[in-house]
Amino acid sequence: MTIKIERIYDNPKEDNSFRILVDRLWPRGLSKDKVKVDLWQKDIAPSNSLRKWFAHDEKKWDEFKRRYFKELDKNTNFVNTVLNKAKDGSITLLYGSKEEKFNNAVALKEYLEKTKK
């Protein structure tokens, strides 16, 4: 099971991975017919209140992950959907943020890799 992360605004890598957008909001300026997204899993994204509280603040990262993982623990259907796709082959988690290290896709990958064991 391979889980990759990619910013949706970057040109897609030439591979056969299943591409899942994991943001609650559709990325600005991108039309759905021009972006390669196999599944938009908006309900696996952090809640609006958590997303706004975090605001990609590095100092809040550990607390953000703790709260987000708690939300994910309650969203087993959506988590299982993504894990099942990963069992079929590699997946790429897509995010829209300019922040590359502290975003929900990075946290979600960590969560999924712990959960799959």
Q: How much is the mean pLDDT over the chain? A: 92
Residue of higher predicted confidence among 72 and 32: 72
Gap between the Cα atoms of 93 and 82, Å rounded: 9
Structural domain that includes position 27: 3-115
* pLDDT, tens digit (0-9, with 9 covering 90-100), for 9-46: 988 777 789 999 999 999 999 988 888 899 999 999 99
Strand partners, 5: 93
* Overall number of domains in the chain: 1
* pLDDT, tens digit (0-9, with 9 covering 90-100), for 75-91: 999 999 999 999 888 99
pTM of the predicted structure, to 2 decimals: 0.93
Q: How confident is the model at residue 117 (pLDDT cuts 50, 70, 90)?
A: low
- Identify the CA nearest to 104 among candidates 95, 92, 91: 95
The distance of Cα 98 from the centroid of its chain, to the nearest Å, equals 14
